[in-house]
Structure 1
Amino acid sequence: MNLSQKKLLISGTSGFIGLRAAELALAQGMKVRGLQHCTDEAKKAQELGFEVILGSITDPAIAQKACQGVDIVLHTADMANESASLERFREVNVGGTVNIAKAAKNAGVKTFVHLSSVMVYGFNYGDRITESGPLSGENNSYCQTKIEAEEAILQLNAPPDFGIIIIRPGDVYGPGSIPWVVQPILLMRQKLFFYVNDGRGVINHLYVDNLIDAIFLAIEKETYGEIFNITDGQETSWKEYFTRLAEIAGVAVPNSLPKEELKVLAQLRYQGQKLFGKKADILPESIDFISRPYAYSIAKAETILGYKPKIHLKEGMQYTQEWLQKTDTIKLI
């Protein structure tokens, strides 16, 4: 499929990945429409010069309106707030995904790309795990509902009329990333960020532009019904990544604590913030996310898509540093 002049709907254009996807799609000559629920973020889209529809992915009427006249849907919107209930996660991550996919199919959209997550493998997976799994919800609402969403929308896959592609990105960083750039830096400034178990294990970092390159390759090759792990393909330790992040932010390199001790401290802080009605900045569950042990395999994407990460960690950190120097990160949380 030639992407030039194709009309692309991006759900979640107010988000870090969605907004960057819109920028790069416009640069490729695509026409872009955004779907987002937050009016405050519409200004960013307007500055890029594309149409935005305001509303929720869980609203059938809004979904139908957004999908009219569209060739491709890139679904990036999801619920990642770990303090939300499982029911709320299911409403957005499963119900919302199915709703927008059904609307796309009814509107004659040809390609639907669902942005899932490597978190479908849980926290205790084997080294170089492939797309065949096994999958594990780990009693975590985000992990579980990402699995459920994949299972639900694959039932709608019906090429050549309507094709589903699932992308499982790793830990996406770059200018604007909240979980892997902004939040850790803010905690480092307060001396509240620690390595887990001396930073052992592997962060499967993925620079945002590399992710979008992979998405466009999957669309061009019309890989319907397929699932792809996407990372930068490097085995970088958590310690190396967060040390680099501290350096570009100009803050002290974090110290290390044992995993179970750090979980206790995170739980105490969470309970204290909840008691005083403050938004939690550290959740006990987040410790599992930053202590995963192994790399995910991207061999399938390399073979079928010809995917090759163009931006490596050193360059990606440089771009992130340049963004940090002109951004008030506190306003992003």
Structure 2
Amino acid sequence: MRVLLTGATGLLGGHLVKALRERDERVRALVLPAEDARSLEALGVEVVCGDITEAGALTAAVQESELVFHLAGMMGVWRPLADYHHVNVEGTRNLYKAAMEAGVRRFVHTSSHTVYGLGYGRFLTEDEPLRPDNDPYSLSKAEGDRLVRRLMLTSPMETVIIRPGTFFGPGDKLHFARMAEKLRRGRGVILGRGDNHLPFCYVDDIVQGYLLAGYHPQAPGNVYNITNDQPLTQLEMFNEIADAVGGERPRLHLPYQPIRLGAICAEKLVARMTRTRPLVTELGALMFGSDNKHSIEKARRELGYAPQVDLREGIQLAAQWFNG
């Protein structure tokens, strides 16, 4: 089967590519012209240069593809909402339309757990209304989620939406490496008491969810949370990472709400004046300082999804990569 991936040069994309190649799938990756795709080519992946925001550049990518995994998106950069919308909403629209016109059989779209909003302190199901917090990433991912759900109502193309947890693992420079580096230097801090749950999942378990979304006969037409439903608390996770990388367990506790309010003010005032990312963002404060849990009962029941990697084991595996 010809399988197309966007976002293949990212952490999740790289792990998913390897899993697909292990299934002997013919994998094609759509990458930006400036991206280094040599590691993909070494795995036997066909590389096509293009940008999802340019509709005319997608024809070659979707041609003869039967399954599309759409992972590409803007995240982790300090950019205005319009830029996030251009990639995460309009780029998704372009790719979905091109795939449908090319006769792609199934389209798996990547949403995010942040579309629900953060800090509810209970297990959220797929039926929860989308109430994203006021940051460009969450707002644009929620709009992209709504867009695909509208398109799939009248599309002949099988469509699945995945709302993954925040994933980590070997090669993770966005989340794990940042946490590990601070803890190794003894600069880790805890927001609040530290007993709040963090929405993390080991990357291999996220990949398992994507494979089920791509191949399971019951998946089309559905939305699934894919994460670990036994999350660690903030304090547990930071302590585990500190021990694994030879760092110091954090002892300093900072009040959560003042930090969050300070982040909101920094975003509105300082960042707007200097056009640089503030030291702490509201999304960062919410992610690490509030309680976040997501139900995976629907994916368990309908797809047979079940996390295989205990989060503490995942931290050890990621730490081996980080320690070199």
Fold similarity call, TM over 0.5: yes
Q: Show the counterpart of 2:84.
A: 89
Of 235, 248, 256, the residue aligned with 2:253 is: 256
Equivalent residue number for residue 286 of structure 2: 288
User: Which range moves more in the overlay, 104-113 or 199-208?
Assistant: 199-208
Which amino acid letter does the alignment assign opposite residue 69 of structure 2? L
Partner of 2:321: 323
Task: Give per-residue Cα distances to partners, 1:183-242, cap 9 Å, x unaligned.
Answer: 222333555542111212111221111111111112222311100011122031111112
* Residue identity opposite 1:257 in structure 2: L
5+ residue gaps, structure 2, are none
Q: Does 1:229 align with 2:225?
A: yes
The equivalent residue for 1:176 is: 171
Alignment gaps of 5+ in structure 1: 1-5, 327-333
Pair 1:281–1:163, CA change in 2 (3 A): farther
- 1:21 to 2:19 alignment: no
- Residue in structure 1 matched with residue 306 of structure 2 by the alignment: 308
Which residues of 2 match residues 53-92 of structure 1 at below 5 A? Answer: 53-81=48-76, 83-92=78-87
Is the 8 Å Cα contact of residues 110 and 161 (structure 2) preserved in structure 1?
yes
Contact preservation (8 Å) 1:9, 1:73:
yes
Q: Is the 8 A contact 2:89 2:143 kept in 1?
A: yes
Secondary structure in 1 matching 2:293: coil
Cα displacement string for residues 235-287 of structure 1 (whole angstroms, at most 9, x for unaligned residues) = 31111112111222222122321113434676799888998887666434311
Amino acid at match of 1:12: G
Runs of 4+ in 1 over 6 A off after TM superposition: 267-279
Rounded Cα–Cα distance in structure 2 between residues aligned with 1:126 and 1:282: 22
Determine what percentage of the aligned residue pairs are the same residue. 29
Change (3 A) 1:73 1:199: same
Residues 14, 36 of structure 1: 8 Å contact kept: yes
SS at match of 2:8: coil
Alignment CA distance shift 1:124-1:283 (3 Å): closer
SS of equivalent residue, structure 2 residue 205: helix
Aligned amino acid, residue 304 of structure 1: E
Partner in structure 2 of residue 211 of structure 1: 206
**Which residue pairs with 2:191 in the alignment?**
196
Q: Which structure 2 residues correspond to residues 125-204 of structure 1 after superposition, within 5 A? A: 125=120, 127-157=122-152, 161-189=156-184, 191-204=186-199
Q: 1 CA distance for matches of 2:282 and 2:315?
A: 27
Aligned length: 321
Cα distance between partner residues in 1 of 2:77 and 2:276: 15
> CA contact under 8 A between 1:274 and 1:280: conserved in structure 2?
no
Counterparts of 2:274 and 2:82 in 1: how far apart (Å)? 25
Distance in 1, matches of 2:278 and 2:28, equals: 33
The TM-score normalised by the length of structure 2 is 0.90
For the aligned residue pairs, the C-alpha RMSD in angstroms reads 2.5
User: Does the CA-based 8 Å contact 2:78-2:276 persist in structure 1?
Assistant: no
**Does 1:46 find its partner at 2:46?**
no
